Structure 1
Amino acid sequence: MRKILIAGTMSGSGKTTVSSIIMSAFANVAPFKIGPDYIDPGYHRLFTGNASYNLDSFMFDENTLKYIFEENSKGKDIAVIEGVMGLYDGINHTKDNFSTAHTARILDVPVILVVNAKGISTSIAAEVLGFSGFDKDVNIAGVILNNVSGEKLYLSLKEAVEAYTGIECLGYIPKDENIGVESRHLGLKQAFEVEDSAKRKEFLKDIGEKYLNLKRIYEIAESSEEYNIKNPAEELKNIFRGKRAAVARDKAFSFYYESNFDMMKYAGLELVEFSPVYDSKVPENVDFIYLGGGYPELYAKELAENTEMKKSITAAHKAGIPIYAECGGFIYLTDGLKNTDGKFYEFCGIFDIKTAMRKKLNMGRFGYININMENGIKIRGHEFHYSEIFENNEKQCFYNIKKENGREWECGYKKNNTLAGYPHIAFYSEPEFLKFLFEQVP
């Protein structure tokens, strides 16, 4: 199996653009994303036709990380991994800081560094040299230049980089506002919002064939030895065979770790998707309901007006069906949400809590988190939300949350069979968590 990692010198350097181009240009690609992001994997699926998996060295120990990578690369010609932030950026200034470079070392994967070439000349060689020398255990095997005005400038920059660093340039991305992806307050627009996706994939493929040395990139993505690591959730195999899980998946709820679904299916669950926006009720004969994150604020009117679905969710709660919700799903289970225009939308009302959107990211509740649950389970996740609780009549929290920097708070609410909170949780960071969610399955 061939593997390659696309990294950037910093956020905004163009790694998402380059990753999208390479994924579109190659066939039979296994796509991956470093870190907890949900938006980029949606684009990966759009451009490859395959599910994209998060590779997160904070969420997962090294064996689990290798297992998820290898298991989901099987049968593919090449694995293309998109990095996060700058190559060495993580939660602190050590080299084992859960950064893109940290993951590259764990997986022993060659790195292609994307460098923004806007407004730079010979200094670009110093920039690349600094990145290549910072950690000799990270194999920077090639460079792609972004924001280049034309071939003449590219050849000049290529000469400087290769002369001073010995690292080959593998092409460039021209200045073109049509290549990037439109963004919104919580990141890029979601993949399903892209109009004429097949046409866009062909456009990106053409960019790759015209401006990148795809043949050389494929050669650099050399094959490696297999890890042959068993499933870290082996004790869960088929323990829920015959059970059905309803998963909320539509334009309002789309933020899920693909590996969470894999663990559920490995445990024997049949996954049945439904839409809180469009459907009138939860699927029949289900034993569990999973409400992920997303953009409920953008579809608050539709969610609030779908009274039949809200009744169906609350009826399932009262009937004892276990429900698990995170972030956007949590908001949907509260009394409601006040949007930035001041209008309040009534939701399910399982939790006596009211939430409100902010215009800025809630930095006090942002990033990787360690979660200690009231029942003793310790698990990892992350928070990233613009909303906040502004009225709370639920007194007992189920999660004690700590960040690596020592910051601590409480969140998460458990009411009978329903557990919900802001944290997005990676099931593979502690497989026991999935068993806990099913303790009350009829």
Structure 2
Amino acid sequence: MKGFVLAGTRSGIGKTTVSMGLMATFEDVAPFKVGPDYIDPSFHKFITGNKSYNLDLFLMGEEGVKYSFEKHSKEISIVEGVMGLYDGLGNSLDNYSTAHLSRVLNLPVILVVDAAGKSTSIAAEVLGYKNLDSRVNIAGVIINKVNSEKLYEMLKDAIENYTGIPCLGYLKKDENLGISSRHLGLLQADEVEDLKEKKAILKEEIKKTIDLKKIEEIANLEKSEKNIDIFKNIENLYVGLKVGVAKDKAFSFYYEDNLELLQRMGIELIEFSPIKDKKIPEVDLLYFGGGYPENYLEDLSNNKDFLNSLKEFHESGGHIYGECGGFMYLSQGIKTLEQKSYSMAQLIDCSVKMTGRLFISRFGYVDVAFGELNGKAHEFHYSTIDEIGSDERVFKLRKSDGREWLCGYKNKNLIAGYPHLHFFKNLDILKQILEGAKKCHI
């Protein structure tokens, strides 16, 4: 079994580019992403042909990330980090960061550093990352944006002399190698026209300038005892239940582990498209995940047959659950930055508007209270509530700094709001939603 974490000294350092290049180069790769991100895993899947799984200590817990990593590992597991190596929730070293995850899974870390504007000082940078937490095994360094092989040799000599950490190679400074932030933030992997070409170029460059044999040696993991199957007691708990999952260009943000957990519980998943389909499938529960509904407003608003079918399902007592983009779609409507409004499903008594910037006051990890039940969630959205009606709100959200607010709009058997739930730490909430659908099914 082989595996390692590819981490950066900061966001924007190029770890996604290096990660995808290594994923393209090795065979039979199991890709993973630290944190709650939905975008990078879609690129991992495009590059490797294998599903990418999130490893998030806040949303999944230690047992959850161990379960997912063990279950989905292949010949070599490559875990792309998030932000800088030690960046997480607060300044504790147990802050759900990439470093924290590497310790929980006992994985070696390969650190990506930037060559720009540096000489011997690059060694001080690497040494600082090594010394901040001696429990983190920084086993190698890859230098990004290197102008020449001569510069790489000089930087390599400084790092190895003063830190004792081996340099494993470099990527040259070339704008054609990187995946731009506009691609990662606005487009899904299959919409990036030149991604196949970038994959081929990256693969060739990495073969030239990075020591793959050394990486394989670093990635050799000691055999460990198998972890407890934490979901054995809920296996086939909901056999016969059918859940419709909105899946198209507007709705694509789902944790793969969430969908697989539903299937393990005995649930049949049926995909449908609010853009293309004329009616909802015959199911017990509709699940609208996040995505980019704001990019397909005309298609969604004009599909009247589907909207009428959805409304009939809701009015007849059908169960519906929506997150973020799904919540926006289930609202009265969405207003664009140009102040043009598009009607949506109109099942929730509120509307939303696009803001053009991340809604930072609600961004990040939150604790969730759903009645007497407690869970964990994450918010990340560029829209906000425009008009609020009288529908009940059933989620009480709380950030670590004490701020609280209500979300999770309820109308009949519909619950929808901005929070993204990973089911591993929200099993009780999930089961309550499924129990309602099960009663209707019976």
Identify whether the pair has TM-score above 0.5, normalized to the shorter chain.
yes
Match for 2:390 among 365, 370, 394?
A: 394
Which residue of structure 2 lines up, in the alignment, with residue 86 of structure 1? 84
User: Residue 414 of structure 1 corresponds to which residue in structure 2?
Assistant: 410
**Which amino acid in structure 2 is aligned with residue 120 of structure 1?**
K
C-alpha displacement of 1:204:
2.1
Match of 2:343 in 1: 346
Q: CA deviation at 1:188?
A: 5.4
**AA of the residue aligned to 1:243:** L
1:141 to 136, 139, 142: 139
SS in 2 for 1:59: helix
Corresponding residue of 1:366: 363
Indicate the SS of the match to 2:392: coil
Name 1:319's counterpart in structure 2.
316
| Higher normalized helix content (fraction of residues) | 2
Deviation, 1:116, is 0.9
Equivalent AA in structure 1 for residue 124 of structure 2: A
Task: State the Cα distance separating 1:196 from its structure 2 match.
Answer: 5.2
Q: 1:395 to 1:270 in 2, by over 3 A?
A: closer
**SS of aligned partner of 1:43:** helix
User: After TM superposition, what 4+ stretches of structure 1 lie above 3 angstroms from structure 2?
Assistant: 196-200
Q: Where does residue 270 of structure 1 map in the other structure?
A: 268
**Is 1:107 the equivalent of 2:78?**
no
Structure 1 residues 227 and 400: alpha-carbon distance in aligned structure 2, compared to 1, 3 A threshold: farther
Task: Report what 1:155 is aligned to.
Answer: 153
Q: Give the aligned partner of residue 382 of structure 1.
A: 378
Aligned-residue offset at 1:208 = 1.6
Supply the distance in 2 between the matched residues of 1:83 and 1:54 (Cα, whole angstroms).
10
Structure 1 residue corresponding to 2:421, chosen from 413, 419, 425: 425
Deviation at 1:354, TM superposition (A): 0.9
Paired AA for residue 440 in structure 1: G
Deviation at 1:62, TM superposition (A): 1.1
- Residue 15 of structure 2 is matched in structure 1 by 15
Contact 2:176-2:198 within 8 A present in 1 as well:
no
Contact 1:113 1:144 in 2 (8 A): yes
Q: Superposed, which structure 2 residues align to 1:58-73 within 5 Å?
A: 58-73=58-73
1:294 is aligned to 291
Q: CA deviation at 1:244?
A: 1.8
Taking only aligned residues, the RMSD between alpha carbons, in angstroms, comes to 1.4
Q: Is the 8 A contact 2:391 2:411 kept in 1?
A: no
In the alignment, the residues of structure 2 paired with residue 113 and residue 183 of structure 1 have an alpha-carbon distance, to the nearest angstrom, of: 20
Task: Give the distance between the partners of 1:196 and 1:311, measured in 2 at CA.
Answer: 39
Aligned counterparts of 1:281 and 1:210: Cα–Cα separation in 2: 52
| Kept after mapping to 1: 8 A contact 2:391/2:410 | no
Task: Name the aligned partner's letter for residue 189 of structure 2.
Answer: A
CA distance in 1, matches of 2:313, 2:94: 44
Query: SS of the counterpart of 2:201?
Result: helix
SS state at 1:44 partner:
helix
Greater shift, 53-62 or 217-226, is seen at: 217-226
2:252 to 251, 254, 258: 254
- In 2, distance between residues paired with 1:221 and 1:186? 27
Q: Deviations over 1:294-316 (max 9, x none)?
A: 11111111111111111122222
TM-score by length of 2: 0.96
- Displacement of 1:38 after TM fit? 0.3
AA of the residue aligned to 2:315: K
Q: What displacement does 1:183 show?
A: 2.6
Whole-Å Cα distance in 2 between the matches of residues 238 and 307 of structure 1? 36
> Structure 1 pair 413/276, CA: closer, same or farther in 2 (3 Å)?
same
AA in 2 matched with 1:387 = S
Distance of 2:137 and 2:268 partners within structure 1: 41
Q: What's the offset of the Cα at 1:243?
A: 2.1
Which residue pairs with 1:309 in the alignment?
306
Within 5 Å, give how 1:94-243 maps onto structure 2.
94-184=92-182, 187=185, 189-195=187-193, 197-243=195-241
Q: CA deviation at 1:104?
A: 0.5
Match of 1:45 in 2: 45
Is the CA contact (8 Å cut-off) linking 1:31 and 1:80 kept in structure 2?
yes
CA contact (8 A) 2:24 2:48 kept: yes
When normalised by structure 1's length, the TM-score is: 0.96
| 1:306-339 deviation line (CA, Å, top 9, x unaligned) | 1111112222212322111000000000000001
- Aligned partner of 1:329 in structure 2 is 326
> Unpaired segments of 5 or more residues in structure 2?
none
CA distance in 2, matches of 1:115, 1:378: 39
Task: Give, in whole Å, the separation in 2 of the partners of 1:380 and 1:231.
Answer: 21
Compared CA separation, residues 306 and 338, structure 1 to 2 (3 A): same
| 1:432 CA displacement | 2.0
Aligned pair count reads 438
What CA distance in whole angstroms lies between the structure 2 residues aligned with 1:339 and 1:257? 27
2:8–2:14 contact (8 Å) kept in structure 1: yes
Displacement after TM superposition at 1:231 (Å): 3.0
Letter in 2 for 1:178: N
1:361 and 1:385 in contact (8 A); partners too = yes
Does structure 2 conserve the Cα–Cα contact (< 8 Å) formed by 1:332 and 1:348? yes
Distance in 1, Cα, partners of 2:231 & 2:303? 37
Counterpart amino acid of 1:362? F
Distance 1:96 1:42 in 2: 28
| 1:173 partner letter | L
Structure 1 residue identity aligned to 2:2: R
